[in-house]
Amino acid sequence: MAQVKISVSNLNLHYGDFHALKNVNLEVEENQVTALIGPSGCGKSTFLRTLNRMNDLIEGVKVDGEILLDGQNIYRQEEDVVSLRKRIGMVFQRPNPFPMSVYDNIAYGPRIHGTKNKRKLDEIVEKSLRAAVLWDEVQDRLYKSALGLSGGQQQRVCIARLLAVEPEVLLMDEPTSALDPLATMKIEELIQVLKKDYTIIIVTHNMQQAARVSGVTAFFLNGDLIEYGVTESIFTKPTDKRTEDYITGRFG
Amino acid sequence: MNSRLADRIATFIFWTGALLVITVLGAMIVYILYHGGKYISWDFLTKPPQVVRAGGGIGPQIFNSFYLLFLSMVFTVPVGLLGGVYLAEYARNNKLTEAIRLSIETLNSLPSIVVGLFGLLVFVNMTGWGYTLISGALALAVINLPLMVRISEESIRGVPDSLREASLALGANHWQTIYRVVLPSAFPGLISGAIITSGRVFGEAAALLFTAGMSSPALDFSQWNIFHPASPLNPFRPAETLAVHIWKVNTEGLIPDLRRVADGSAAVLILVVLGFNLAARWLGRKIYRQMTAA
């Protein structure tokens, strides 16, 4: 059993009167890909956003329970959200590169965190783009707008932008849902490469994708974590009837 | 058949409305340019005006208009931008925000002559500056601020939330996100907005009659000491702008070629305002394209 990176206990999230996450308990292993699956509105994306406290930005959200990152509660009073988000990065559903050059997109994180040296930035940009398997495709157009790239390339710019701040955990919120199959395949291959160095949690609508990329799968339904375990056994011999119904396509 | 007819009638009405607007604007531009265009010459644009004799130009007035515009933008743009950022990024839905919005709306609907009289009381008399460029610039800033705030707020709100999230998720704080992502993304809109408000300022007369004054000292364009009373750049001198000049010549002009000066000035004024609006569209589009396309 690998080391536990994130440990969630008794997590509840209320959005106004709506109880969006109900007493979720879960442990995320280090250097593992954990997939969160479930029908729309089941709370999987909401759960993902509690992990880097992106829900803080939404008015009316109340979180209680504990989320330990390397043993420390990220919801404690004195937690510095900014440095937390540096450690736990996020890739969104739709590629959202800044309307700037590819270079400036990647250099954005290091710059706001204080790296000014041009040579150092060049180094980070190249390293991050290589890590996101994008360098060969964009090295000739580093100084042109990132918005001129294809959707799949844009998503990889976003991943590279994230890698540039050297996070420990990558949260991916349906990162391929806006992409075509070929671009999706590239992102999935990239996830396989990245898991050597990062702990990855990916929300996906697509069960084949969960089966392909993840080692551990968690199934959410109506805010409850129904079942959680090694991907293979979740997909071949689920213990809960509802999990079975979902993965065999009876609903959702 | 019935609904098709209704659709046709609606279409016709909308077309008529749009055509009416274009016709009125077009007719005015043609009229003014037809009457004034023939008087525009290099001499007319550069020479100082005459008091009783014919043959005067509008050189100092053109300079005053542009310089006053520049001075007023120095006040309007930063304050308007800050207000827009506040309303778009920080303001919550509460009484304070409501009060601010109400103030902006009210300020926006004040007749400019009222702003002019307010300027006379505050920027001219209370400060003890007298009729000066700076008083005029402040009065114009009061007129323009509501529009600038609104345009800033709209441009900033137009920036997709996904960009804000991306920035915050990288560990940027709110201010870094605004400064490095939101404002640059809103830049094309901000630029067009600033230029369009410029056009409005350029044609303003009523607010300036009692603030920047209706006379200009003899200007010495080789005097670059901005504290010298004859220096064109001295912000503490009175200055008559083009729009005020048109009004003055028409109402109390003593020159024999009054029609020539008034019509020529009007033509110059409308050309400049037209230029501002075209420049705003062109520049906004150009910057937008540079930011988005390959």
Could you say which of A85, A100, A144 has the minimum Cβ distance to residue B170? A85
B289: closest chain A residue by CA: A145
The whole-angstrom distance between A38's CA and the closest CA on chain B is 23
Q: What is the pTM of this model?
A: 0.82
Range of the domain at B148: 38-292
Residue B5 lies in a domain: no
The predicted pLDDT at position A1 comes to: 52
Residues whose CB is less than 8 angstroms from the CB of residue A71 and which lie 6 or more positions away in sequence, other chains included: A7
Kindly report the average pLDDT of chain B as a whole number: 87
Distance CA A161, CA A155 (A): 10
A164: closest chain B residue by CA: B170
The predicted pLDDT at position B293 comes to: 57
Q: Answer yes or no: do B181 and A90 touch at CB < 8 A.
A: no
- Chain B residues with CB under 8 Å of A162 CB are 169-170
By the 10 Å C-beta count (0-12 exposed, 13-18 middle, 19+ buried), B175 is classed as exposed
CA distances from B4 to B7, B12, B92, B264 (A): 5, 12, 46, 50
Q: Answer yes or no: do A90 and B293 touch at CB < 8 A.
A: no
Cα Rg of chain B, angstroms: 23
Among A108, A157, A165, A166, the residue to mutate for chain B (most B Cβ within 10 A):
A108
Residue B269 lies in a domain: yes
B175: closest chain A residue by CA: A112
- Chain B residues with CB under 8 Å of A82 CB are 171-173
Among B92, B170, B183, the residue to mutate for chain A (most A Cβ within 10 A):
B170
Residues from B in contact with A at Cβ < 8 Å: 160, 162-163, 165-173, 176, 180-181, 184-185, 290-294
Distance CA A216, CA A105 (A): 32
Distance CA B101, CA B81 (A): 15
Domain at B191, CATH number: 1.10.3720.10
Residue B3 lies in a domain: no
- Cβ B123 vs Cβ B139: under 8 Å: yes
Q: Name residues of chain A where pLDDT drops below 50.
A: none
CA nearest to A98, candidates B159, B85, B86: B159
Helix (H, G, I), strand (E, B), or coil: what is residue B201? helix
Sign, CA dihedral B256-B261-B262-B264, equals: positive
A150: closest chain B residue by CA: B294
The whole-angstrom distance between A116's CA and the closest CA on chain B is 15
The whole-angstrom distance between B133's CA and the closest CA on chain A is 40
Question: Does residue B226 register a pLDDT over 80?
Answer: no
A158 has a chain B CB within 8 A of its CB: yes
A90 has a chain B CB within 8 A of its CB: yes
B181: closest chain A residue by CA: A98
The predicted pLDDT at position B197 comes to: 84
CA distances from A31 to A67, A68, A85, B10, B170 (A): 18, 16, 18, 64, 20
What confidence tens digit (pLDDT) does each residue in B174-220 have?
999 999 999 988 988 888 888 888 887 888 888 888 888 887 777 77
A170 has a chain B CB within 8 A of its CB: no
A91: closest chain B residue by CA: B166
- Chain B residues with CB under 8 Å of A161 CB are 166, 170
Share of chain B above pLDDT 70, in %: 99
The whole-angstrom distance between A93's CA and the closest CA on chain B is 10
- Cβ A125 vs Cβ A143: under 8 Å: no
Tokens coding A116: 């000014």
The whole-angstrom distance between B101's CA and the closest CA on chain A is 22
Distance CA A236, CA B39 (A): 89
What confidence tens digit (pLDDT) does each residue in B162-186 have?
999 999 999 999 999 999 999 988 9
Residue B21 lies in a domain: no
Residue B254 lies in a domain: yes
The answer to which of A168-172, A248-252, B15-19, B131-135 has the lowest mean pLDDT is A248-252
Distance CA A121, CA A192 (A): 26
What confidence tens digit (pLDDT) does each residue in B67-126 have?
999 999 999 999 999 999 999 999 888 899 999 999 999 998 889 899 999 989 999 888
Q: Answer yes or no: do A100 and B184 touch at CB < 8 A.
A: yes
A160: closest chain B residue by CA: B170
The whole-angstrom distance between A36's CA and the closest CA on chain B is 20
Residues belonging to chain B: 294
Distance CA A209, CA A35 (A): 9
Which residue is listed with tokens 């408000």?
Answer: B197
CA dihedral B84, B89, B91, B93 (to 10 degrees): 120
- Chain A residues with CB under 8 Å of B163 CB are 96, 98-99
Residue B27 lies in a domain: no
Chain A with chain B: Cβ pairs closer than 8 A: 80
Distance CA B36, CA A200 (A): 71
- Cβ B261 vs Cβ B49: under 8 Å: yes
Residue B22 lies in a domain: no
In this structure, the strands spanning A169-173 and A199-203 are parallel
Tokens coding A62: 């109340």
What confidence tens digit (pLDDT) does each residue in B230-275 have?
788 888 888 888 888 888 888 887 888 888 888 889 999 999 888 8
B188: closest chain A residue by CA: A99
- Cβ B106 vs Cβ B173: under 8 Å: no
CA nearest to B203, candidates B259, B277, B256, B152: B277
By the 10 Å C-beta count (0-12 exposed, 13-18 middle, 19+ buried), B279 is classed as middle
Tokens coding B53: 């004799």
The predicted pLDDT at position B294 comes to: 44
Residue B233 lies in a domain: yes
Number of domains into which chain B is organized:
1
A102 has a chain B CB within 8 A of its CB: no
